[in-house]
């Protein structure tokens, strides 16, 4: 079973799609300058990157859920997780 740990927020994700889901915002769009003829353009800069991680409550609002290990998945109770019940760990969620 592969998993992803986000280098930015240290959350663990059961799969890449769950990881992708918690990253939002733009990487930064190129800003073009057009020549007078309008035939060519060149990149003169980039808009600032707004790429960030969703908070736990935002992930929950997106329909994502964390399992008993605290790993995030794209939706509650994915079949491959309900299959294996190895250890009973207390599900804890920080209260805010
Ligand atoms: Zn993250």
Whole-number Å distance, alpha carbon 8 to ligand 1 midpoint, is: 5
Whole-number Å distance, alpha carbon 40 to ligand 1 midpoint, is: 38
Beta strands in the chain (DSSP E): 4-5, 12-13, 23-24, 30-34, 41-46, 52-53, 65-66, 72-73
Q: Where along the chain do its domains lie?
A: 4-73
Please write the tens of the pLDDT for every residue from 71-96.
Answer: 999 988 655 544 444 555 556 667 66
Please write the tens of the pLDDT for every residue from 1-53.
Answer: 578 999 999 999 999 999 999 999 999 999 999 999 989 999 999 999 999 99
Whole-number Å distance, alpha carbon 64 to ligand 1 midpoint, is: 13
Give Cα separations from 45 to 33, 37, 63 (angstroms): 9, 20, 36
Distance CA 67, CA 62 (A): 15
């Amino acid at each position: 079973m592969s998993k992803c740990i986000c280098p930015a927020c240290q959350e663990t994700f059961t799969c890449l799609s769950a990881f992708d889901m918690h990253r939002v915002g733009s990487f930064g769009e190129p800003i073009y300058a057009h020549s007078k003829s309008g035939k060519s353009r060149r990149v003169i800069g980039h808009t600032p990157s707004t790429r960030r991680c969703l908070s736990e409550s935002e992930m929950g609002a997106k329909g994502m859920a964390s399992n008993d290990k605290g790993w995030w998945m794209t939706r509650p109770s994915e079949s491959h997780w309900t299959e294996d019940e190895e250890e009973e760990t207390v599900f804890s969620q920080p209260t805010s």
